[in-house]
Amino acid sequence: MLSDLRLISLPKKFAEKLDKLSSKPLVKYSVYLTAVILFFALILLPPILGIIIKWDAMQEVLGNSELIARALNAVKNSFTIAVLVSVLDVVAGIPMAWLVTRGKSRWLNVLDTLADVPFIVPTAVLGYSTLLFGVTLKKEFRHFLAVRLFRQDGFLSPFSTSHFHTQLW
């Protein structure tokens, strides 16, 4: 670990103290516990508390059989696509990995680079699809979002655009 710290050019004495401190079990587990607590406090608890606080609105949404049917259909489609893509990834990935590691062609670097493209594309696709999603929403669904989520007492009212005097859609 000390050699890793030298790469970021910390003074040698400080790096040694940091290495000695991080090797203590109490410090190590305290850092882990702090990370777990921060995860729960900042990422996991807010949505759960939002559901509990706005349970009446959730019951209204859960009582709408059309919305539930559409949501279950979307979940089923998502899992079906995920399974199919996973099978396709394994079928295509194992031979390609073997070829890249064992092959002797000069074009294997190009193939290896092309295999890395899916790690870059999801971010761009997510941004583009979010843009398209916002533009192509049906009027009724946009109204539902505006009324249920962004009204004065809605889930996202602190973040609503009404606080900034702009129109939502």
**Residue ranges per domain, the chain?**
1-53
Q: Per residue in 81-91, pLDDT tens?
A: 889 989 998 99
Residues 104-142 have pLDDT tens digits of: 888 888 888 888 877 777 766 766 676 666 656 566 666
Give yes or no for a contact between 162 and 150, defined as CB atoms under 8 angstroms apart: yes
Report residue 148 CA to chain centroid gap.
Answer: 24
Q: What's the mean per-residue pLDDT of the chain?
A: 77
**Which residues of the chain are modeled with pLDDT < 50?**
1-2, 4-6, 155-156, 158-169
Taking the complete model, does pTM exceed 0.85, yes or no?
no
Q: How long a stretch of residues is the chain?
A: 169
CA distance 37 to 43: 10
| CA–CA gap between residue 105 and residue 137 (Å, rounded) | 49
